[in-house]
Amino acid sequence: MALIVKKFGGSSVANAECLKRVAWTIAESYSEGNNVVVVLSAQADTTDELISKAFELNDTPSKREMDVLLSTGEQASVALMAITLEKLGLPAVSLTGWQIGMNTDSAYGSARIKSVATERMKAELDRRRIVLVAGFQGVNKYDDITTIGRGGSDTTAVAVAVALNADLCQIYTDVDGIYTADPRLVKNAKKLDEITYDEMIELAAQGAQVLHSRSVEMAKRYGVEMEVLSSLKREPGTKVRGVNKVEHTKISGVAKDANLARVSIIGIRDEPGVAFKIFRVIANAKKNIDIILQSANNNSANDISFTVAREDLVSVVEILEENKSIIGFSEIKTSDNIAKVSIVGAGMMSAPGIAAAMFEALYDVKVNIEMIATSEIKISVLVNENDADRAVSALHEKFFD
């Protein structure tokens, strides 16, 4: 008998038919004698629809109230699944983040999980109940509801798996595994049997939304084996773990992130402390920055460009303008017509020429590179958004065909 955590995403529980199909998958595992904990997302586009409803009423809703609102999507899913399982004669109980003791900090909308209480879940499992946990939500020290960031139910699942010391954490979704590129974008993308935590963290961070990157970071830290598999097909999916059992190619995947904007600060002084001042004011406002590029202009003036999430563009520019006299610059230019395209692979550390091959592939399809960033296991380029899909296909062809 094993303890298995299974997470089903929004499209897997979209309607009655999907709920019934998932209920059978749960029933099968339960009747094999396993203890089963199920984490669910909100149905289909529920989260987006709730956001739209709020913004129809107020274009600056408070984050606290948004979390109260958005958490209802997951709450509805677990209740509907419990009702579906009841009909099959299976004992199940739905629980919200608060009921399982999913404790988070107070960063509404992007809260971090601090601890997960296990008493309630264990008591229910001891009674041989199927435990249905609402994903994406927690509670802070003020007893207020929080949410942990878009796509966060994957992280709920891993946190529950860690807390209960589960044998396996299975993430069921609308594709049958992790591919060498988004299979919706690249038709001949190949399914991977396995991928390392580090590679998957990097792919997710570079835009492959198949897994929430924080879920893989947590799985790595606690050694939880994850599997991504289809909620429709009964086939093995892709294992995410510490080391690959079979030797891999140099590159494991290509990813695209179009949710980016670029900020260029023109005419800053060429002296120590300027970069510090710029990034300190942005950090104080808790905004993340990604690729940074400094270019020397002439003897006394430089430009610094960097990327931010598109939704942060307006506020980052405001912060910089407010601090113009402290930082010292002549103007700010912005662009939100950009995307980041990346190749990821642990094998690139020991393979020279990967960057050259990447740039050649982009040159061949006449895609201009605007910025470049590298780490040990990834190379990212910033390109015009209109070129991004072409760039992804060209890179996939170069490294996988």
CB of 68 to ligand ASP, least distance (A): 14
The piece of 168-176, 277-285, 315-323, 325-333 that touches ligand ADP (CB under 6 A) is 168-176
CA dihedral 215, 221, 223, 228 (to 10 degrees): 20
Residue 259 binds ligand ADP (CB under 6 A): no
> How many whole angstroms separate alpha carbon 135 and alpha carbon 68?
14
The DSSP string of 311-339 is: GGHHHHHHHHHHTHHHH--SEEEEEEEEE
CB of 121 to ligand ADP, least distance (A): 22
- Three-state SS at 343: strand
Q: Which is nearer to ligand ASP, 151 or 237 (CB)?
A: 151
Question: Can you say how many angstroms the Cα of residue 76 is from the centroid of all Cα atoms in its chain?
Answer: 22
Q: Which of 138, 151, 207, 237: binder of Mg ion (CB under 5 A)?
A: 151
CB of 209 to Mg ion, least distance (A): 6
Give the total of residues touching Mg ion (CB under 5 A): 2
**DSSP assignment letter at 15:** S
How many Å is the Cα radius of gyration of the chain? 23
Q: Which of 87, 114, 127, 184: binder of ligand ADP (CB under 6 A)?
A: 184
Adjacent-strand bridge partners of 265: 304, 332
Q: Which is nearer to ligand ASP, 152 or 207 (CB)?
A: 152
Give the total of residues touching ligand ADP (CB under 6 A): 19
With contact defined as beta carbons under 8 Å apart, do 186 and 392 qualify? yes
> How many whole angstroms separate alpha carbon 105 and alpha carbon 63?
14
The piece of 77-85, 95-103, 113-121, 143-151 that touches Mg ion (CB under 5 A) is 143-151
Residue 97 binds Mg ion (CB under 5 A): no
∠ Cα 317 66 113 (to 5°): 90
What are the residues binding ligand ASP (CB under 6 A)?
A: 9-10, 41-42, 47, 73, 135-136, 150-153
Position 266: which residue type? I
Residue 152 binds Mg ion (CB under 5 A): no
CB of 47 to Mg ion, least distance (A): 11
Q: Which two tokens stand for residue 78?
A: 């677990």
Question: Can you say how many angstroms the Cα of residue 102 is from the centroid of all Cα atoms in its chain?
Answer: 19
Residue 253 binds ligand ADP (CB under 6 A): yes
Instruction: List contacts with ligand ADP (CB under 6 A).
Output: 9-12, 41, 151, 173-175, 178-179, 181-184, 208-210, 253
